[in-house]
Structure 1
Amino acid sequence: MKYRTLGKTGLDVSVIGIGTWQFGGEWGIQFTQDEVDAILDKGQELGINLIDTAECYGDHLSESFIGNYIGRRKREDWVIATKFGHHFHERFTRTDVFNAADVLKQLDASLKALNTDYVDLYQFHSGPDQVFDNDDLWTMLDKQVQAGKVRHLGTSIGSNDNLHQTEQSTKVNSQVIQVVYNRLDRKPEERVFPSCEKQNLGVLARVPLASGYLSGKYKPGAVFDNTDVRHRHDPENTRRKLEEVEEIRRNEVPQGVDMAQWALAWCLKNPIVSAVIPGCKNPAQVESNAAAAQLL
């Protein structure tokens, strides 16, 4: 495993992290604690120390799986990033809630679920600019940093071209930007990444495998059934993506190199990217993801 410093936070994170949206059930898979334990144990064995989650991955469900695991391991071995701003109701149904009082309740609920006294990174989660520009919110969050409940603040931007929230990071003491970035979606290179570099912000690349399209598993013409989250994607977009992936496979991926590993390493070859946070459904996928670090 290789490690990079997460911008001005000073945290050293594994370049491959573990994204945990899937633990909330929206991948169409219901995880057990034993399955989560096996995934996180494999990650630790391979040198991964970064876990990214959110309060709305299930109703604190993903956090609870992680907290149960952490309670039986060493907390200091992990950099735990979570997020705020939504109440989960049911699969794919959330309500935005970004007012300061409610976010404080969300933080306390996240700490309880995660079985910890502090989170390493607490991220504003894909909210609009009008709720981001709320001094009361950031003042409250700064107080939580001073109290030791949060080590660092970050922003997970909903649009991968949200320059406003990126540019305001230093002002609100947000030290990390999380953004969709992958070989099919390079938009952050234009404006977001230069701003991150200028401010020395850490960058977490989410959806680095483009929702699995860059995994190498799917050929043009693939059809996803209604148990698969990709069933919700626009069919024409899916067709175009699969055709582009086939071209990338032919023209860019070296012979004999696993495409998913290549795609993760592709993100990390941009020096502004601190870490990628792919999801995974079993220890074998964790192992495959971790192997991407060898391609750097």
Structure 2
Amino acid sequence: MKYRVLGKTGLRVSVVGVGTWQFGGEWGRTYSQQEADAILGRAKELGINLIDTAECYGDHLSESLIGESIKGNRSDWILATKFGHHFHRPFERTDSFDPQGVVAQLEASLKALKTDYVDLYQFHSGPDASFDQDALWDTLNRQVEAGKIRHLGISIGSNQNIHQTSQASQVGAEAIQVVYNRLDRKPEAEVFPSCLEQNLGVLARVPLASGFLSGKYKPGTAFDASDVRSRRNREEIDEQMREVERIGREEVPAGTNMAAWALAWCLKHPAVTTVIPGCKDVAQVEANAAAVELVEAGHPQEA
């Protein structure tokens, strides 16, 4: 495994982390504790030390599976979670960004994660009006002072949200999470330059474009109603899959696993610290970790 420093947090994170939205049950299947243990156990063996989750991946369900799994070695992990939504049922959430409500969410997350601190606590894809609350950030920074949060971050909803990115340092946030992959390069225009200027760590989410950049899916593929991808526009999905086929033919070197190539592609950008792909099983953890073999030395955040 290779490691980088997550901006001015100083946290040393693996360049490949584990995204855990799938543990919340909205990606076509549910997970047992044993399955979560196997995934995270194998990730640890491979040198992965970063887990990204959220309060609304299930009703703290993902957090609960993680907390039980890592309670014996919590200090070995960099644990990132988020705030701002109440989960009601699959694919149904309501926003909750009022300061008192966020403190209640933090306490619920700490309980689910079986820990007394979160390494990175992230504003979760909220609107600018919710972001622009001085009282919210004052409250969060008090939680940092209390030791319940080590560092604050912003998971921007739109990957072109320069309003929130540009004010990160001002509100005390030290990392940005953003959608970035070979099919979606929008952050390169404004978000990444701002991150570099402020020395913000960057967590690239959806680095495999919801699995499409694995190369496993073809135009016309249908997803089960329990899979969040089934809710997307059919024509847009097929167009993306055709583009993936072109990338596979023209850009991925012969004999190279496409998923590993796609993760390493993200990690080339000087602003990107780490990628946080989801993984449905141990085999996918191993495939994701294999991307480090394609990651070249010399990145400015290299640890």
For normalisation by structure 2, the TM-score amounts to 0.96
1:1-296 correspondence runs (5 A): 1-71=1-71, 73-296=72-295
Q: Which whole-Å CA distance do the structure 2 matches of 1:224 and 1:280 have between them? A: 17
Q: Which whole-Å CA distance do the structure 2 matches of 1:255 and 1:110 have between them? A: 44
Q: Shift of the alpha carbon at 1:214? A: 0.4
Task: Describe the SS at the equivalent of 1:7.
Answer: coil
Deviations 1:155-186 (A, max 9, x none): 00000000000000010000000000000000
Cα contact 1:86–1:98 (8 A) shared by 2 = yes
Residue identity over aligned pairs, in percent, reads 68
Go from structure 1 to structure 2 and tell me whether the alpha carbon gap of 1:98 and 1:163 turns closer, same or farther (over 3 Å shift): same
Q: Which whole-Å CA distance do the structure 1 matches of 2:270 and 2:293 have between them? A: 16
Q: Which whole-Å CA distance do the structure 2 matches of 1:110 and 1:223 have between them? A: 34
Q: Which whole-Å CA distance do the structure 2 matches of 1:228 and 1:89 have between them? A: 17
Counterpart AA for 1:38 = A
Cα contact 1:2–1:15 (8 A) shared by 2 = yes
Task: Describe the SS at the equivalent of 1:8.
Answer: coil
Deviations 1:34-64 (A, max 9, x none): 0000000000000000000001000000000
Q: Which whole-Å CA distance do the structure 1 matches of 2:210 and 2:216 have between them? A: 12
Go from structure 1 to structure 2 and tell me whether the alpha carbon gap of 1:225 and 1:105 turns closer, same or farther (over 3 Å shift): closer
Deviations 1:79-99 (A, max 9, x none): 000000000000000010000
Q: Shift of the alpha carbon at 1:68? A: 0.6
Counterpart AA for 1:266 = W
Counterpart AA for 2:87 = F
Go from structure 1 to structure 2 and tell me whether the alpha carbon gap of 1:55 and 1:181 turns closer, same or farther (over 3 Å shift): same
Q: Shift of the alpha carbon at 1:224? A: 2.8
Cα contact 2:14–2:50 (8 A) shared by 1 = yes
Q: Shift of the alpha carbon at 1:75? A: 1.2
**Unpaired runs of at least 5, structure 1:** none
Q: How many residues end up aligned between the 2 structures?
A: 295
Counterpart AA for 2:185 = R
Q: Shift of the alpha carbon at 1:221? A: 3.2
Q: Shift of the alpha carbon at 1:229? A: 2.5
Task: Describe the SS at the equivalent of 1:271.
Answer: coil
Deviations 1:243-267 (A, max 9, x none): 1001100000000000011000100
Task: Describe the SS at the equivalent of 1:154.
Answer: strand
Q: Which whole-Å CA distance do the structure 2 matches of 1:118 and 1:262 have between them? A: 34
Q: Which whole-Å CA distance do the structure 1 matches of 2:3 and 2:120 have between them? A: 17
**Unpaired runs of at least 5, structure 2:** 296-303
Q: Shift of the alpha carbon at 1:120? A: 0.1
Q: Which whole-Å CA distance do the structure 2 matches of 1:220 and 1:239 have between them? A: 5
Q: Shift of the alpha carbon at 1:228? A: 3.2
Cα contact 1:220–1:246 (8 A) shared by 2 = no
Counterpart AA for 1:268 = L
Counterpart AA for 2:115 = T
Task: Describe the SS at the equivalent of 1:287.
Answer: helix
Q: Which whole-Å CA distance do the structure 2 matches of 1:243 and 1:114 have between them? A: 40
Residue matched to 2:301: none
Poorly superposed stretches of 4+, deviation over 3 Å: none
Counterpart AA for 2:105 = Q
